Structure 1
């Protein structure tokens, strides 16, 4: 693509969630290819994006969020619409949404004739209990002119529904995520004070989709054989309401003081500390029951950390058998067996070597280049309509 594009990249928040991480890294890679990308997101905290970037960032203020999740989502859509009501905000060649909130805002702008069309990256499809949320999710997808997915699994999902999507994959920065230690490692180790370990790391917070309760139950079994083991749970800054699941998790955790003392709930970890956090772990435990791709899998593999992984798609699409320690995510005993196996030197050596090759095949430049056909398709479509 020789034409320099001005692209509006839209995320649902400024927090370090997978879709936001992907959107920022993609924006930077597109800028490196010579395009102008401005990343937008509602900034509820007023602190801006969770990290700086090699592209322009526009976090905009939002209205106070209602306690009801559906009302909050609708409020965020309205916040986005107010942001793009400014004349200069719609002076872009392309609009690219990465979530249902920004996708609905763009769908409304399209209905009003403010923009010609938009792309929507669907990282995964949620199953909400509220019909209104399901309708909003569907609208953000149905109104999109071009669909993008990060895995063949979800591209196949849409194909079954009669929609074609372009699969772009994911990337990892292997300069940043690497096995070599630096000055942050000692500082983080002192802060965590986890002892000799072994240390298991789960990333994504306490959520049903992340299968955190099953991880906890598996860890309890691991502690029978490895009483010195520790479990770190990082992340979890989500707009969705996971309070019911979190209450169930806390009940399980607090029911055993011996177990609770071995589990650290880290919450959101500073972006600059994430590479050292991976390196501190003896294994990443990622038995998710639903994922779009699983960015942290690549980050762990680039850091030479073994990965305990669900034997489901999309993981089975891009991770070869010897690059992970596989488990049945629905069986805590299977997760526990995989966690213990990941500590074996032979298993570790094999999975780390194969995992490094997997990570090396996924770079952000390739991910950005994979978007260009989607951008071409939308530009051709909108220019034909307005010809």
Structure 2
């Protein structure tokens, strides 16, 4: 296949699953001989949350502010300013991973600066704001090719939109996420004052689709059995406004008498540098990830690659790529069941079984294979420099 120049657009430079997917995908595409450049609006000017073995482009962006719709509009306009000239659009393929990049590329298509674009649909949000809903719909509807990381979302696209999407899956870097401890392990435990445990890890911050409230309720039950247990809530960088849901979670913590802070029952880390995430996974006795809605759940593979048992919702996408023995499956609405699953994960024979199964499952998902699954879609969407469309 002829090497391609691919512009990959994501919504942020922060450590979110979709952003991590873009960087890892681009790195794998570069190893296959393509030039994949990851773009993201960057109001801080600090660049991406980790160093990348692929080209990256920090798109000039205004500081965040206003409503979510105002912020999304600003980020779309940031991209439109960046790609305002034919020279800036000198790529064979444009690939958006969210509604912000997708809307910018749809507008560039109508301005005849690009011929079309690929859109990865990680998941579809439910927006109360009709403008946000319209932007999300447009970013999918106007794409020349659609890609999904799970079969369930590809089926949703076929059923609701009458369109076909290629399922490309996800990957995990086993050179980064591994079970063997490093010097970072002690530093991470000391930074957050982690005690003897058990330590329950939740990834995604205080967010409704991550089911943080039910995790808190389950953890309160666990503390009755294990008074020294700690809940680590990692991540949480988001463009969306989760203030109302966060308030509900904080009320639940207060009602249960659970304090937040390093060394306390509950520890909120905020965004965690990738260099520290493997150590945080290894410090945890279990990853609690009973999400309501996920595109794939990249942190599941990362935790498994580090030898950490995982609890997930008994629903897609988890039931697509995990065998019944790979993880502990629960009803995400049942906090008692989540607490029982955490307790089960602490039993030594269960823990060892889940560790072995998780390591094998993670090893089956490579970024190279994910990149290879993108190539046919890219080839179908690619344009050549000999066929310019600029007016």
Do both proteins adopt the same fold according to a TM-score greater than 0.5, normalized to the shorter chain?
yes
Task: Give the Å deviation of 1:71.
Answer: 1.1
Equivalent-residue separation in structure 1 for 2:320 and 2:256 (angstroms): 38
Task: Give the Å deviation of 1:257.
Answer: 3.4
Counterpart of 1:352 in structure 2 is: 355
Counterpart of 1:367 in structure 2 is: 370
Is 1:140 aligned to 2:139, yes or no? yes
Is 1:52 aligned to 2:39, yes or no? no
Task: Give the Å deviation of 1:56.
Answer: 1.0
Counterpart of 2:190 in structure 1 is: 190
Q: Is the 8 A contact 1:116 1:382 kept in 2?
A: no
Deviations 1:191-238 (A, max 9, x none): 121111110100011100000011000000011111111100000000
Give SS of 2:38's match: strand
Equivalent-residue separation in structure 1 for 2:86 and 2:119 (angstroms): 22
Unaligned runs of 5+ in 2: none
Alignment of 1:189-338 (within 5 A): 189-258=189-258, 260=260, 261-338=264-341
Counterpart of 1:79 in structure 2 is: 78
Q: Is the 8 A contact 2:278 2:306 kept in 1?
A: yes
Is 1:128 aligned to 2:127, yes or no? yes
Task: Give the Å deviation of 1:271.
Answer: 1.5
Unaligned runs of 5+ in 1: none
Task: Give the Å deviation of 1:384.
Answer: 10
Deviations 1:60-86 (A, max 9, x none): 221233321111101110111001114
Deviations 1:351-374 (A, max 9, x none): 111111110110000000000111
Equivalent-residue separation in structure 2 for 1:141 and 1:265 (angstroms): 34
Task: Give the Å deviation of 1:39.
Answer: 0.9
Give SS of 1:45's match: coil
Counterpart of 2:13 in structure 1 is: 14
Q: Is the 8 A contact 1:286 1:308 kept in 2?
A: yes
Equivalent-residue separation in structure 1 for 2:350 and 2:278 (angstroms): 22
Counterpart of 1:149 in structure 2 is: 148
Task: Give the Å deviation of 1:380.
Answer: 7.7
Task: Give the Å deviation of 1:246.
Answer: 0.4
Counterpart of 1:178 in structure 2 is: 178
TM-score calculated relative to the size of structure 2: 0.96
Give SS of 2:325's match: helix
Q: Is the 8 A contact 1:158 1:165 kept in 2?
A: yes
Equivalent-residue separation in structure 2 for 1:276 and 1:65 (angstroms): 31
The Cα RMSD (Å) is: 1.6
Equivalent-residue separation in structure 2 for 1:290 and 1:382 (angstroms): 40
| 25-34 or 40-49: bigger deviation | 40-49
Deviations 1:273-302 (A, max 9, x none): 011010000000000000000000000110
Task: Give the Å deviation of 1:190.
Answer: 1.3
Q: Is the 8 A contact 1:40 1:58 kept in 2?
A: yes
| 211-220 or 338-347: bigger deviation | 338-347
Cα 1:333–1:372, aligned 2, differ >3 Å: closer, same or farther? same
Task: Give the Å deviation of 1:324.
Answer: 0.3
Deviations 1:16-39 (A, max 9, x none): 111100000000000000001111
Q: Is the 8 A contact 1:220 1:259 kept in 2?
A: no
Is 1:378 aligned to 2:381, yes or no? yes
- The alignment of Structure 1 onto Structure 2 pairs a total of residues equal to 385
Task: Give the Å deviation of 1:255.
Answer: 2.9
